[in-house]
Amino acid sequence: MVRGIDTDMEHDRPLRYDNAPRRRERILEIVRTSGFVSVVELTHELGVSGMTVRRDLRKLEDSGEVRSVYGGVTLPSDGNLSGFDSRAMENAEAKHAIATMAMRFVQANDTIAIDAGSTTACVAVNLDGNFAGAVVSHSVPVIQLLVDRPGVHVIGLGGDLLQSSRAFVGPMTVDAAGRLQVRTLFLGAAAVDERGFYGVTDIERPTKHALIEIAERVVLVIDHTKFAAFAPVRLGPLSQLSAVVTDSEPPTPIAQAFAESGVELHVAHAQG
């Protein structure tokens, strides 16, 4: 699926949402995808004042659709949340700090790929308003977030829908990825140690491998909990990574393994 948007539109400011219901719908779309969104990010994304954003957030909080935290909002605690929504809420502010730092790897007219996952979805949320390049993704939330962005060329990789990850996987996805090339892949993982990076299920491994193969540079975006986590499926050695962006210094053995493998380490710190 390829969706192009008229590049004659202005790229130096975001699409303005003058209609309150439309703005609130967009806010919910973002927070449901990434787990957290800041007031500053919303003023940029919606093209309205901070006062207007705060008014919308109060309305959404009053109706129980979001929960206010320092600097922004998250999803409310709810036992009925999907697995993806639940993961998106975990360490949400840290994930946004990571995604913000990851923007140093993106240029205005780049072609990038964004892997499935809650941290990688934050990369899509944090793309600069001036970004007018192409985004390749098999992640349904990423595609939904970018579909209305003016000037952004979205290339969706179709296939079989894996509901737990809200992503397309399988031979069709792998085949579609193999026809493309990207400058930077923003990759997710469930765990990292000195030997490599890992996933939870083998069904996602071929798609991740296909994305790694077409990328000039692979940037792993993970929060600090992944350094202590365990996952059974080895996705690859650290040498396949160009950089890691995280929110806390990794344990010494992992940091040493990064250095020995030539992997750049970038540490972001969440505010609050």
Q: Is residue 4 part of a domain?
A: no
pLDDT of residue 125: 86
Where among 68, 88, 108 does a domain terminate? 88
Same domain for 97 and 69, yes or no, is no
pLDDT digits (tens, 9 = 90+) for 1-55: 333 333 333 334 445 566 888 899 888 888 887 777 888 778 888 888 888 988 9
**179: CATH:** 3.40.50.1360
Beta bridge partners of 266: 245
Looking at the structure, do residues 76 and 100 belong to the same domain, yes or no?
no
Instruction: Indicate whether 236 and 178 sit together in one domain.
Output: yes
Domain that holds residue 253: 92-267
Mean pLDDT of 207-222: 98
Provide the pLDDT confidence category of residue 149 given band limits of 50, 70 and 90: confident
pLDDT tens per residue, range 61-91? 888 888 877 567 877 765 444 455 555 556 6
**How many angstroms separate the Cα of 139 from the Cα of each of 154, 175, 187, 261, 271?**
11, 16, 12, 29, 27
Residue 246's pLDDT is 97
Diameter over CA atoms, the chain? 53
Asked if 183 and 235 sit in the same domain, the reply is yes
pLDDT of 96 strictly over 80: yes
